[in-house]
Amino acid sequence: MSGFDLTGLTASFGGERVIGPLSLSVREGDRVALVGRSGAGKSTLINLIHQQVQGHSSLVPQNLGLVNALQVFHNVYMGRLDANATWYNTLTLVRPFARDSREVKALLEELAMPEKVWIPAASLSGGQRQRVAIARALYRKADLLLADEPVSALDGPTAHLVMKLLKQRFRTSVIALHDVELALAYCTRIVGIQDGQVALDEPSDKLTPADIMPLY
């Protein structure tokens, strides 16, 4: 399962509605960029989609969800915890198997940080932490990627490296992005969120940055 069809999504905080009612249909092969100003509801929408497609997506949350006390390897390995038996996961915590170590290190190599594999997550920079969360999503190997500002802490070249990798590895994706140029370059469809509603939904090849900027 990589596509989904959600109708009537709503979310409220403190009695105030922040999303919806909103409908969103994503077909297999769609690469959707969620755009709009901070507070528009993009993060809430990503989390709602994740709850609805539970178990079928790779998630990069905005807070990254890393365990600081654990090494980078274990943070990445957590992407596939539910695919292995409890005894296997427990052993891996103490002494990782060679195959898993190779696979995680290869992902970190692609993200230009293989030397960090055995370092605790607490000692990483913001950009490195973001790449560990991305490696965890890649390691999960789900068909659908849900990512909330996955390149916000990365410099230009590294952001492009990551966006290319995500495009290659995930057939279908919904990615919240602040960078309009990246959204147009790497996504096939732009969905603009404003006050918890869909204010724009167009193929990216029909849009320019000027069409999107009013949402900010």
Are both 46 and 77 inside the same structural domain? Answer: no
Are both 137 and 169 inside the same structural domain? Answer: no
The last residue of a domain, from among 112, 141, 170: 141
What's phi and psi for 145, nearest 5 deg?
-105, 130
Q: What is the distance between the alpha carbons of residues 109 and 133, in angstroms, rounded to a whole number?
A: 14
The last residue of a domain, from among 141, 165, 188: 141
Are both 176 and 74 inside the same structural domain? Answer: no
Are both 172 and 126 inside the same structural domain? Answer: no
pTM: 0.94
Residue 166 near residue 192 (C-beta atoms within 8 A):
no
The last residue of a domain, from among 120, 141, 162: 141
Reduced to 3 states (helix: H, G, I; strand: E, B; else coil), residue 188 is coil
What's phi and psi for 198, nearest 5 deg?
-80, 115
Are both 121 and 181 inside the same structural domain? Answer: no
Residue 170 amino acid letter: F
Are both 81 and 114 inside the same structural domain? Answer: yes
Domain residues for 126?
64-141
Are both 32 and 71 inside the same structural domain? Answer: no
DSSP label at residue 31: E
* Tens of each residue's pLDDT in the chain, 216 residues: 678 998 988 989 888 888 989 999 999 999 999 999 998 899 999 999 999 998 899 999 999 999 999 999 999 999 999 999 999 999 999 999 999 999 999 999 999 999 999 999 999 999 999 999 999 999 999 999 999 999 999 999 999 999 999 999 999 999 999 999 999 999 999 999 999 999 999 999 999 999 999 998
Residue 78, both tokens:
């957590």
150: CATH: 3.40.50.300
